Amino acid sequence: MATSEVILTESVPSLGAEADIVKVRSGYARNFLIPGGKALEVTPASLRKINHLKAKRAEREARELNEAESIATKINKLRLNLKLETGETGKAFGSITAADLLDRLNREIKDLVLPRHAIVLDRPLKESGEHQITVKIHSEVTATLRIEIAAAPKVEQPLDEEEEPGTRRTRRKSSDQGSEA
C-alpha cells in the first residue's frame, strides 16, 4: 500500500493532533484529509507553516488546561445532596447514574460542558450515604465530586375511604347498564 506523509492542521481522532506529521494511506490523504482542510501535504512551504501550527496548538492546549483546572476547583468545592426513593426495608427504587449526576452538575455550575463519560462510575449508585465520584475533565485534570445520597421513603397512595384493603372496584360496561333498565 502506498503511504504519504501529511501535516495535520487540526486534531483528528485516532490519528493525531494539530501540527503532527503522520503517515497515512495515500487515498485517505488525497480523498479525505487534504480536501477537508484537515491536513497539508509535506512540502518545504508547509514545513515552514508547521511552526505557526505548533504555536497555535500550544496556546490552545494551555487555554484548555487552564479552563479544566478552574472547573476542577469548582467541582472539588461542590457537595451535592441527592435523594433516592427506598422501600420499607431500605431497598432502593431506581438508581443514580452518570447522566443524573451530569444534569445536576450542569444546574449547579453554569456554562459547564462535559461529556457524559467524564463522570467515572463503575455502576449506578443504589446505596444511600456519602460517595466520592471521579470526574475526568481533561486528559491531565481530574476532580472529585462529593455527593450525599439520602434515603427518601416511597410515598404510598392512600386508598379511597369507601374501599377496603384487598377489594377491587370493577366498572360495568355500558351494554350491561342498558339491559338492566
Instruction: Examine the domain organization and report whether 39 and 91 are in the same domain.
Output: no
Instruction: Examine the domain organization and report whether 98 and 128 are in the same domain.
Output: yes
- 34, 40 Cβ separation under 8 angstroms: yes
Residue 178 falls within a domain, yes or no? Answer: no
CATH number at residue 53: 3.40.5.10
Instruction: Examine the domain organization and report whether 45 and 84 are in the same domain.
Output: no
Number of domains observed in the structure of the chain:
2
CATH number at residue 141: 3.10.430.100
Instruction: Examine the domain organization and report whether 110 and 148 are in the same domain.
Output: yes
Instruction: Examine the domain organization and report whether 55 and 114 are in the same domain.
Output: no
Q: What is the separation, in whole angstroms, between the first and last Cα of the chain?
A: 90
Give the pLDDT confidence score for residue 29 in this predicted structure.
Answer: 94
Which of 65, 92, 112 is where one domain is finished?
65
Residue 134 three-state SS: strand
Give the pLDDT confidence score for residue 181 in this predicted structure.
Answer: 45
Averaged over successive runs of 10 residues, the pLDDT of the chain (181 residues) comes to: 90 88 94 94 86 85 90 89 78 82 85 82 85 88 88 65 55 53 45
Domain extent, residue 37, equals 3-65
Give the pLDDT confidence score for residue 36 in this predicted structure.
Answer: 94
CA dihedral 12, 7, 51, 62 (to 10 degrees): 10
Instruction: Examine the domain organization and report whether 77 and 148 are in the same domain.
Output: yes
> For residue 94, which of 83, 78, 107 has the smallest C-alpha distance?
83
Rounded CA-CA distance 154/14 in Å is 47
Rounded CA-CA distance 111/9 in Å is 28
> For residue 27, which of 60, 1, 7 has the smallest C-alpha distance?
1
